[in-house]
Amino acid sequence: MGVRWQKRLYTRYGPWAVVTGASSGIGREMAFKLAEARLNLVLSARSQEILEQMATDLMTRYGIEVRVVGLDLALEKAAETLETATQDLDVGLLIASAGFGTSGSFLNSQLEQEIEMLNVNCRALLKLSWYFGQRFAKRGGGGMVLMSSIVGFQGMPFAAHYAATKAYVQTLAEALYVELAPMGVDVIASAPAPTNSGFATRAGMQMGMALNPADVAQPTLNALGRKPTILPGLLSKLLTYSLVLLPRWARVRIMGGVMDSMTKRQRSNNDLGLGNGGIV
């Protein structure tokens, strides 16, 4: 099984893949899985030093080429910078894993941070999808993984704006799956449940259950080119399908109750003047 999925990835999407948010969490796990399949990698994140350490490790372990592009996708021209930095490479796969979220009361949030989240989760994603979609269409094939979330299927009180950004990702990916298919370009929305990637600690959330990045990366890569959306891991399916028959207003209230209990410590910190947290 392992050899088959690796061969499929390289044959369909090689020889180069771009991974944003590659320094930690799901992005990091995706990078290692692609390296196993012998795809050369462009790793992008804000943490240049971490990326360089990863590059050395991946090149030594798998004998691939790795290019590092230290970049903050919240900046206005960041997506253009990444596109330009890869112009000389035959890129066939984009893993758009960069993103961050906040939790807590919307009115207590910091507007500047919320706009930064909008820029990373939506504006940069839009640009990268357009740039690399153009390139993949011209080369006659390629693939894009856009990271959605189970919170993007309905409103999410106490994570209102974060859920809204993920709804944007989800609907964009669903549409591009149909539009780009005739051009040989595969698109998938990966919509996991809460995942252990540092988000909970920084956002002041307490999660009793969570996925590991490995629970998300491998199933997502396996499903790319085969379906428009994947709910990776049992927890993602359980939390989504258990609500699917309820009216949307009921789902919003239930999910709000879940987030309310997960963010009580964070809201207590707000009362002390510590503000909302987040993670890239």
Instruction: Report, as residue numbers or ranges, the catalytic residues.
Output: 162, 166
Residue type, position 198, single letter: G
Which burial class, exposed, middle or buried, applies to 137 when counting CB atoms under 10 A from its CB (0-12, 13-18, 19+)? Answer: middle
In the numeric block, the tokens 């790319």 are attached to 224
Q: Cα(162)–Cα(194) distance, rounded to whole angstroms? A: 13
Task: Name residues whose C-beta falls within 8 Å of residue 218's C-beta, 6 or more positions apart in sequence.
Answer: 33
For residues 111 and 76, give the distance between their C-alpha atoms in angstroms, rounded to a whole number. 17
Q: Quick one: DSSP state of residue 185?
A: E
3-state secondary structure of 40: strand
Distance (Å, rounded) from C-alpha 199 to C-alpha 24? Answer: 11
Residues whose CB falls within 8 Å of the CB of residue 72, separated by 6 or more in sequence, listed in order: 46, 78
Q: Which helix (H) or strand (E) holds 91?
A: strand 91-96
Sheet strands (E) in 122-174: 142-147
Q: CA–CA distance from 61 to each of 39, 152, 168, 175, 237 (Å)?
A: 13, 37, 37, 38, 34
Contact 176, 129 (CB under 8 A): yes
DSSP 243-279: TTTS-HHHHHHHHHHHHHHHTHHHHHHHHTT----EE
AA letter at 160: A
